[in-house]
């Protein structure tokens, strides 16, 4: 029996998606088919109630990115027969950026680069603030598709890897050696963390998870990298820990304020505090999942989910609505 999947917004590379699909998958888009008939799978990040009620055969929603918008989570609570799934296509590029931020922060690449662009060699002849990573512990909060790849990178740098996740007994990626703990172990693990790596989604449980108390428990000269969501870390506490030197350095790809319109893109501060004034912060404009190959990866992962549905297999990457991810 054919599978009918309907897109509220057509993917950027629809031909590439079609080329990867099982012949039993039929695609329609809102743009071409505003009255598509009954579809079993809806592909949309922020559907409206009418999109979920107009098909009597709908049983799955695929969010075509990582994460679940809060308004979508609330809406889907009224549709318990519809399973929700998202994509992990951005796991590799996001993990790669996390590693880049870790190394740039630990080695103070940005201020050294800035000085040499001014023909200033002074940093070469001063005591180096650069930190050694080998032999230290990387504590990864959110040990899923991204977090485990971050763990493999850290392992490759000679670091000990400790992960934190709600289901610590689930299998790990091949080649990854890590001790995995449940969330309640966080206070005991923080004093061991030479690098605190955050790959967590933003939910009611993770909001402000890392605040003044948690930052104070980190050892001296600890590093922090956040490629999850900004509000997981209290911005006031983070700024002052960096400014005061209690936290050695940070690499940040996710923030607290974002532009509301294209006109605001060149004039929106990413936080309420002047992180840009600190030499021990590496700043990135939430581009962790971006790469020249990202859309190809998205189409490949989306095809994987749709083909599984067409075969009658369990669709991967199911979201726990109660947890928000």
Report in angstroms the alpha-carbon separations of 186 from 32, 140, 165.
50, 10, 10
Architecture of the domain spanning 91-283:
3-Layer(aba) Sandwich (3.40)
How confident is the model at residue 301, as a pLDDT?
Answer: 96
Q: What span, in angstroms and rounded, lies between the C-alpha atoms of 66 and 316?
A: 13
pLDDT for residue 39: 96
37 alpha-carbon distance from chain centroid: 35
pLDDT-derived band at 324 (thresholds 50, 70, 90) equals confident
The pLDDT assigned to 325 comes to 85
CA dihedral 81, 82, 83, 86 (to 10 degrees): -170
CA angle 250, 254, 259 (to 5 degrees): 130
Which pLDDT does position 45 carry in this prediction?
95
Q: pLDDT confidence of 34, banded at 50, 70, 90?
A: confident
Which residues make up the CATH 3.40.50.720 domain(s) of the chain? 3-89+293-311, 91-283
State residue 139 phi and psi, 5-degree precision: -100, 115
For residue 67, what pLDDT band results from cuts at 50, 70 and 90?
Answer: confident
The pLDDT tens digits of the residues spanning 185-242 come to 999 999 999 999 999 999 989 999 999 999 999 999 999 999 999 999 999 999 999 9
pLDDT tens-digit profile of 124-175?
999 999 999 999 999 999 999 999 999 999 999 999 999 999 999 999 999 9
At residue 308, the pLDDT reads 97
Tens digits of residue pLDDT in 270-291: 999 999 999 999 999 999 999 9
**What is this structure's pTM?**
0.93
Q: Which CATH superfamily is domain 3-89+293-311 in?
A: NAD(P)-binding Rossmann-like Domain (3.40.50.720)
* Residues 145, 172: Cα–Cα separation, whole Å: 9
For residue 115, pLDDT over 90 is answered with yes
What is the overall mean pLDDT for the chain? 96
pLDDT at 1 over 80: no
Average pLDDT over residues 42-71: 95
pLDDT of residue 12: 87
Residue 191: what pLDDT?
98
Q: Which residues pair with 140 in a beta bridge?
A: 163, 197
């Amino acid at each position: 029996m054919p599978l009918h999947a309907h897109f509220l917004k057509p993917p950027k590379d629809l031909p590439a998606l079609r080329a990867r699909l099982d012949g039993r998958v039929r695609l329609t888009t809102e743009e071409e088919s505003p009255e598509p008939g009954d579809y079993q799978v809806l592909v949309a990040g922020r559907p409206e109630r009418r999109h979920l009620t107009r098909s009597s055969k709908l049983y799955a929603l695929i969010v075509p990115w990582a994460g679940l918008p809060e308004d979508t989570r609330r809406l889907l609570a009224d549709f318990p027969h519809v399973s929700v799934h998202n994509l992990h296509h951005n796991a590799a590029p996001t993990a790669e950026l996390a590693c880049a931020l870790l190394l740039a922060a630990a080695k103070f690449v940005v201020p050294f680069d800035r000085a040499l662009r001014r023909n200033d060699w002074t940093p070469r002849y001063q005591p180096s603030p650069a930190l050694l990573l080998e032999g230290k512990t990387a504590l990864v909060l959110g040990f899923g598709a991204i977090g485990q790849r971050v763990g493999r990178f850290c392992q490759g740098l000679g670091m000990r890897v400790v992960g934190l996740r709600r289901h610590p007994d689930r299998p790990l990626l091949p080649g990854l050696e890590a001790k995995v703990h449940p969330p309640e172990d966080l206070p005991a693990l923080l004093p061991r963390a030479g690098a605190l790596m955050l790959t967590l989604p933003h939910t009611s449980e993770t909001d402000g998870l890392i605040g003044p108390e948690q930052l104070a428990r980190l050892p001296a000269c600890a590093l922090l990298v956040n490629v999850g969501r900004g509000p997981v870390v209290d911005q006031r506490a983070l700024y002052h820990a960096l400014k005061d030197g209690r936290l050695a350095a940070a690499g940040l790809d996710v923030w607290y304020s974002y532009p509301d319109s294209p006109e605001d893109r060149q004039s929106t501060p990413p936080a309420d505090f002047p992180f840009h004034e600190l030499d021990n912060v590496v700043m990135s404009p939430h581009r962790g999942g971006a790469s020249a190959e990202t859309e190809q990866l998205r189409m490949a992962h989306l095809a994987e989910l749709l083909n599984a549905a067409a075969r009658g297999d369990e669709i991967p990457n199911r979201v726990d609505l109660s947890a928000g991810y």
